[in-house]
């Protein structure tokens, strides 16, 4: 009897181990609406991408996916919220280059991007566009640099927050061009754009979805893009690299992450669903029209990419002695 009982117990334990991953998978989609947190104000590139993707995700999984804008501190408030959020698959974050790979080297943050947040999939990437208001009196990058050198400390640039991609793009340009533009941080792309249009700040390394409607309306002047090559949707704007600064590249990107303790089977399922959406022809077309390039990845690929970006930008932070002040 004892031997039979032992065999039965062993079989039951093995069955539980085999079924455990599937129990997590059966929790998908979550019973409650899914929250997709965005660390920037409505109207910017992150918000545009999140809303396009969230709509299709909701349709595919048969559950509401609600975009929640938590602006502030260059996106770090949102990242902290998700790092301590529910790990049941009901919360995702459209994380960004700044809080994930730059801010931890610039300021004290209350989360570890590689421990408290779990990579799910790449999202979108794009170059920034250096734009100026029409009152700046410049039409080319060379003229802009000449202005900055002629009036040290008088030329400033907006960003979506200290430690954000637009901040580091400006600091990298300061380094390469030998100028000292003054950094002016905002809580997102929309408020930065508003002050640029009001000529309260000189320039802005802006996301294409934020800047290009104003460029096309004749309200802002584009000087250069920050990618290695000209994007297909902006063929008429030269890159910083081809304008006298070879090798200059500062891509912006957003990626999907979840609370760090989210079970692997749920993370795998979210990866499957997000990659499916990013490969959807209609979604790809809509994102491309906003100047955003889909970047679906495996979870492992995203982890490796984040590690590489972390190393790159931490070196710039040290060299430029960048702080949150």
Asked if residue 3 has pLDDT above 60, the reply is: no
Q: Which domain holds residue 114?
A: 32-126+253-320
Same domain as 69, residue 53: yes
Q: What is the CATH number of the domain that holds 259?
A: 3.40.190.150
Asked if residue 66 has pLDDT above 70, the reply is: yes
Same domain as 131, residue 120: no
Distance CA 31, CA 28 (A): 8
Same domain as 232, residue 144: yes
Same domain as 208, residue 144: yes
Across the range 292-296, mean pLDDT stands at 94
Same domain as 218, residue 134: yes
Asked if residue 206 has pLDDT above 70, the reply is: yes
Across the range 231-236, mean pLDDT stands at 90
Across the range 90-109, mean pLDDT stands at 93
Across the range 217-227, mean pLDDT stands at 97
For residue 19, name the pLDDT band (cuts at 50, 70, 90).
Answer: very low
Same domain as 206, residue 179: yes
User: Does any domain span residue 14?
Assistant: no
For residue 44, name the pLDDT band (cuts at 50, 70, 90).
Answer: confident
For residue 20, name the pLDDT band (cuts at 50, 70, 90).
Answer: very low
**Predicted pLDDT of residue 18:** 47
Bond preceding residue 7 cis, omega within 30 of 0: no
Same domain as 196, residue 117: no
For residue 24, name the pLDDT band (cuts at 50, 70, 90).
Answer: low
For residue 216, name the pLDDT band (cuts at 50, 70, 90).
Answer: very high
Asked if residue 12 has pLDDT above 70, the reply is: no
Across the range 67-94, mean pLDDT stands at 94
State pTM to two decimals: 0.80
**Predicted pLDDT of residue 162:** 80
Asked if residue 26 has pLDDT above 70, the reply is: no
For residue 263, name the pLDDT band (cuts at 50, 70, 90).
Answer: very high
Across the range 26-51, mean pLDDT stands at 89
Same domain as 61, residue 104: yes
Asked if residue 25 has pLDDT above 60, the reply is: no
**Predicted pLDDT of residue 240:** 98
Mean pLDDT score of the chain: 90
Give the total number of structural domains in the chain. Answer: 2
Across the range 219-228, mean pLDDT stands at 97
Domain boundary, last residue among 243, 271, 299: 243
Same domain as 279, residue 233: no
Higher per-residue confidence, 105 vs 21: 105
Same domain as 226, residue 144: yes
For residue 4, name the pLDDT band (cuts at 50, 70, 90).
Answer: low
Same domain as 212, residue 76: no
Same domain as 257, residue 114: yes
Across the range 271-300, mean pLDDT stands at 95
**Predicted pLDDT of residue 93:** 98
**Predicted pLDDT of residue 307:** 97
Asked if residue 1 has pLDDT above 50, the reply is: no
Asked if residue 6 has pLDDT above 60, the reply is: no
Q: What is the CATH number of the domain that holds 167?
A: 3.40.190.10
User: Does any domain span residue 85?
Assistant: yes
Across the range 128-133, mean pLDDT stands at 97
Using one digit for the tens of pLDDT, what is the confidence trace for 298-316? 999 999 999 999 998 999 8
3-state secondary structure the chain: CHHHHHHHHHHHHHHHHHHHHHHHHHCCCCCCCEEEEECCCCCCHHHHHHHHHHHHHHHHHCCCEEEEECCCHHHHHHHHHHHCCCCCCCEEEEEEHHHHHHHHHHCCCCCCCCCCEEEEEEEEEEECEEEEEHHHCCCCHHHHHHHHHHCCCCCEEEECCCCCHHHHHHHHHHHHHCCCCEEEECCCHHHHHHHHHCCCCCEEEECHHHHHHHHHCCCEEEEEECCCCCCCCCCCCCECHHHCCCCCCCEEEEEEEEECCCCHHHHHHHHHHHHHHHCCHHHHHHHHHCCCEECCCCHHHHHHHHHHHHHHHHHHHHHHCCCCC
For residue 291, name the pLDDT band (cuts at 50, 70, 90).
Answer: confident
């Amino acid at each position: 009897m004892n031997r039979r009982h032992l065999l039965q117990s062993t079989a039951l334990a093995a069955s539980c181990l085999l079924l455990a991953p599937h129990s997590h998978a059966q929790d998908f989609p979550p019973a409650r609406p899914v929250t997709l947190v965005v660390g920037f104000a409505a109207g910017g590139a992150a918000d545009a991408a999140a809303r396009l993707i969230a709509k299709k995700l909701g349709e595919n999984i048969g559950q509401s996916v609600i975009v929640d804008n938590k602006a502030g501190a260059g996106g770090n408030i949102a990242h902290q919220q998700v790092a301590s959020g529910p790990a049941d698959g009901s919360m995702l974050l459209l994380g960004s280059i700044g809080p994930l790979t730059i801010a931890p080297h610039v300021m004290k943050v209350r989360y570890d991007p590689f421990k408290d947040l779990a990579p799910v999939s790449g999202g979108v990437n794009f170059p920034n566009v250096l734009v100026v208001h029409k009152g700046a009196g410049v039409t080319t990058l060379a003229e802009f640099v000449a202005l900055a050198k002629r009036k040290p400390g008088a030329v400033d640039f907006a960003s979506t927050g200290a430690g954000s991609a637009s901040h580091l793009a400006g600091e990298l340009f300061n380094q390469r061009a030998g100028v000292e533009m003054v950094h002016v941080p905002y809580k997102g792309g929309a408020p930065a754009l508003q002050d640029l249009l009001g000529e309260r700040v000189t320039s802005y390394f802006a996301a294409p979805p934020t800047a290009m409607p104003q460029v096309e309306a004749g309200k802002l002047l584009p000087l250069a893009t920050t990618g290695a090559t000209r994007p297909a949707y902006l063929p008429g704007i030269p890159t910083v690299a081809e304008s006298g600064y070879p090798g200059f590249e500062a891509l912006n990107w957003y990626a999907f992450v979840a609370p760090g303790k989210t079970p692997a089977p749920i993370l795998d399922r979210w990866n499957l669903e997000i990659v499916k959406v990013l490969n959807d022809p209609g979604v790809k077309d809509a994102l491309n029209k906003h100047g955003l390039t889909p970047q679906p990845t495996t979870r492992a690929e995203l982890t490796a990419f984040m590690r590489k970006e972390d190393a790159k930008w931490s070196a710039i932070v040290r060299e430029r002695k960048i702080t949150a002040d």
